[in-house]
Chains A and B, each alone.
Chain A
Amino acid sequence: MAGLRTRKLNIVDRALGKGRQEVVSQSAFAHLFSEFVQYSQARSITASELERRLEDAGVGIGVRILELASLRDGKTRRETRMLGILQYVHTTIWKALFGKSADALEKVVENEDEFMISEQEPLVNQYISVPAHLPNLNCAAFAAGIIRGALESAGFPAAVQAHTVAADAGGSRTVFLIKFAPEVLARERSLASA
C-alpha cells in the first residue's frame, strides 16, 4: 500500500487529456451500463420511471462533458445561440462521448421550439434488449439526460426524450426529441433582432 500512496495524485494535478482521445473499452462500459439499468429497473415500477432514473444519471455527465469538451478543444468562446449549441451537442459532445458525431440533426417542422437528434444505433443501446412487455422503453434515455444536462448548464433549458422510431427500410432508430423552454425562444428572438 505504501507504493500506492506515493502515486496518489490530486484531481487538480491530473491532465485533462488535451489533444488525445482517451477511450474506455466498450465491453467495460456495456457491463457497467447493463448493471445500472438492472439496478434502476429493480427500483422502478413503470417504464417511464426507469427512463427517468436513467435520464437523471445522464444529466451530471452532460454538465461535465460540456465544460470538458470545450476546454480540450482550447476554445475561448461559448455558444450563445440555439442552433450553435445544438450543433455543438450533435458534433463535438457526441464525438467526445461516442467517438463519432450523431447521425442527424433536424428541426421539427410544426414546432419552432423542437429539434431532433437521431442516431441509427446508439452506443448505449448496443447490448440492451427491450423486453416485449415494455415496447416503449428506450434506454437511450441515459443519452437524453446527457443532452439535457449539457443544454441546461449552457443556459438553454430543454426537455429531452428518447423515442424509438421504426425506419422505412426495416429496423429502428433512436430519436432524441429536444423541446426548448419558452424563455430560450424569447431570448433567441431578441438576439436575432439585435
Chain B
Amino acid sequence: MATGSYTFVIVAQGDTPVYGAEFLAAAKKDGQDTSHLNQLIIHAALDMVDDAVWTSNNMYLKTVDKFNELLISAYVTPGHARMMVLHDVRNEDGIRSFLHDVHELYVKVLLNPFHSAGAPIRSDTFDARVRALAKKYLT
C-alpha cells in the first residue's frame, strides 16, 4: 500500500467550497505546512475540471491537472458538485472508490430538506464518515 498525503475538497455549483479535509501521511505531519498552497492548487485546477466536464460524461475524470509532483483528481456529480483530491502518490482505484462512496454520503446530506446545495457541510457525522473512507481507501 502506498502512503501519501491527500487534500480533499468539495466545491458546489457556483464555485463555493462546501467541505474540505486533509489526510496526511505520518511522515509529512511534522514537515512544512503547505495546506494554503494545496488550496490554491486545487482551486486553480477547477478551470481544468470545467473544461473536462463537458468532453467526458464519466463522473470520475481521473487526473485533471499536475503541479510539480502533485496530482489533482476530480469527480463531478450529475448536479455538478465537484469533488477534488490533491495527492502526491498514484492511487487511481483507491481514489475512484473513495470519491464514489463520498458521493453517496454527499447525496444523503443533500437530501436533507434543510440543507441547500451551496451551503457548507458542517455535519460531524459526515466528517467522521469521510475520514473513515479515507482511512479505508487512501492509505
Residues in A lying within 8 Å of B, measured CB to CB: 10-14, 16, 60, 63-64, 66-68, 70-71, 75-80, 153-155, 187, 191, 194
Contact = CB atoms under 8 A, between A and B. Distances in A.
Given A66-B79, A154-B80, A76 B58 contact: yes
- Chain B binding site: helix, strand, loop or mixed by DSSP? mixed
A155 B111 CA distance: 19
B116 A154 contact: no
28 contacts: A11-B108, A11-B109, A11-B123, A12-B105, A12-B108, A12-B126, A13-B125, A60-B116, A63-B117, A66-B78, A67-B77, A67-B110, A70-B78, A75-B59, A75-B78, A76-B58, A76-B59, A76-B100, A77-B59, A78-B58, A78-B76, A78-B77, A79-B57, A79-B78, A80-B55, A154-B79, A155-B54, A187-B54
Contacts of A60: 113, 116
Q: With a 10 A CB-CB cut-off, give which of B54, B59, B112 has the most chain A CB atoms.
A: B54
A153 B117 contact: yes
A67 B79 CA distance: 6
B57 A77 contact: yes
A65 to B, nearest CB: 10
A64 B57 contact: no
A14 B108 contact: yes
Contacts, number: 78
B107 interface: yes
B123 A77 contact: no
Contacts of B104: 16, 71
B110 A64 contact: yes
Contacts of B108: 11-12, 14, 16
Given A12-B105, A16-B107, A155 B80 contact: yes
B136 interface: no
Contacts of B123: 10-12
A11 B55 CA distance: 34
Contact of B111 (A11, A77, A79, A187): A11
Interface in B43-100: 53-60, 76-80, 100
A7 to B, nearest CB: 16
A37 B29 CA distance: 56
Contacts of A13: 125
Interface string B110-138: 11110011000001011001000000000
A107 to B, nearest CB: 22
A60 B110 CA distance: 10
Nearest to B81: A67
